[in-house]
Structure 1
Amino acid sequence: MAGSRPIRTPKELLAQHLIQEDQVAAITDVAKRYALSITPAMRSRIVELDDPVARQFVPTEDELTSLPEEREDPIGDDPFTPVKGVTHRYPDRVLLKPVLVCPVYCRFCFRREVVGPGDSMLKESQLAAALDYIRSHPEIWEVIFTGGDPFIMSPDRLRPILRALDGIEHVKVIRFHTRVPVVDPDRVTEDLVEALTMDTPVWVVVHTNHSQEIGDGARRALRLLAGSGIPLVSQTVLLKGVNDTPEALEDLFRTLIVNRVKPYYLHHGDLAVGTSHFRTTIKEGQALARSLRGRVSGLCQPTYVLDIPGGHGKVPIGPTYLNGNGTVTDPWGIAHTYPPKTTED
């Protein structure tokens, strides 16, 4: 039975029957390094100890294993941080990270070295400097709230930041990356929706990896956001043992579309320290992406992407259907000829 507060310690995991007694020592070592939190909403979605929800949020001893290629900053945020809380990798958009706390901590998180309790909020002076940076760079067309999870902030904390951005002429789009509508849906309130409603359009990217995560609370939260006119898209991480089957991905993407969320990105797992047990190969990911083509509606098709380690950007790595011999392969694997050049009138 899920409690009324998040699970935050190995002892609480044991009390909730999510780990065994002989695992407590190892999980304590994991928790000393990486933050731990499981919301009541996610505890209620865990049916078995090793199911797709449990694997995402319950720590395991595997996290203590690191590989030489893994990195503390796998996507290279640090070199592109002109002021604290801002990452400016692409010319026309910046990440704004006002908070480094999450309602849950994914065991595969690419920012697992920096999120969690501690110095987790930008100070007022740091936030002012971040907003000044955005004001002084007219090439910035989009501001993307991330973190941590920006929806963990109260509407009263979000309003002044959003009003400041709304007043910057060259900022045309504001985007939020969040897990909250799924993992802590009670935070999605009319008050939050009101805070997000302004002249500058706000988009919300919902992170979810398996349909089992999406319960009645999540459906209510998504309905409230979508019904208020806020466009919703999703991002999903391809995770071994969680969603690395055609059936799991199909079910997730269909569930999202039914809840008015357009699948946007399917991320290849990042090279975060202690996460090798979650990563598939790119070849496996391409095969899974190919399996969806023709199997489900085009509305259900995300772009399979890789964030190149070292801060070199995100690129699509999905399968190709054009062959080198002048043929194109259809969704069912049959090759068809296509003329290299059409006749011009």
Structure 2
Amino acid sequence: MGKGDTLEIAPTPSAYRSVMEEYGYEMGKVIGNGSYGTVYEAYYTKQKVMVAVKIISKKKASEDYLNKFLPREIQVMKVLRHKYLINFYQAIETTSRVYIILELAQGGDVLEWIQRLTPSLSAAGRDLKLENLLLDKRENVKISDFGFAKMVPSNQRMHSSPSYRQMNCFTHLSQTYCGSFAYACPEILLGLPYNPFLSDTWSMGVILYTLVVARLPFDDTNLKKLLKETQKEVTFPSNYSISQECKNLVLQTLCQATKRATILDIIKDPWVLKFQPEQPTHEIRLLEAMCQPPSTPNRHQSLEINT
């Protein structure tokens, strides 16, 4: 983790301020809360810029999170760099806490933005959801919170043997339940091994539906009812004017895994391309290499199940 790979002693609950000051951060107000910690606004004096500081309590966090998911989160954030992702700057570990320094999204999250426009909305990334879509000061969307993210090998990086070459985004399966019920695909709700890429596109469909309809497509207050609803084709309210192209994309994402759109299908979709300033040729080429279906007649021979 670079400079942050040092061990500090934080004996009192307020000690995080002295730790942060030592690294040049002036702590500000609380801007978010999670299961294991809190997110603060902070000023980085060395570069004169505002940042977000995610402080995770080791006492509150589970062993599974500290030993598996947190290292994965930091690994993913360090590798990924994109204008639509929240940037990772630094991680600092002490005896009692982990501090993750991130780009500050000053516009809040998309859920808050929708609720300001439509106060009637009620809402209860592997964890893609509206609360994890943040807005910068120009209201550009940035994806945050990679707590359940994981790195999956693509075709380009696999071993040269035939069985390895057939590993791709269609053949990798996960078993760990990740995310929120309202955004979870049916296979996760049923406790089945699932494709994490197709799980993400289901979540994208839930997000898109909510953006155009101003309510979630499924009622997550009752798991049995939720499971039943996700098995049926989603419907749109008649009093909303939604283009057929947009409806088609939602229907292609909120369907059973065997028929569900991949991220490649989504990025090439006519309705999506209509909003792009330029053709995403580079992204399409990379995704075509990663999502190329296996050539083997028996597709199940190359399945990899992981967590």
| The two structures share one fold, judged by TM-score above 0.5 | no
TM-score when scaled to structure 1?
A: 0.24
TM-score when scaled to structure 2?
A: 0.27
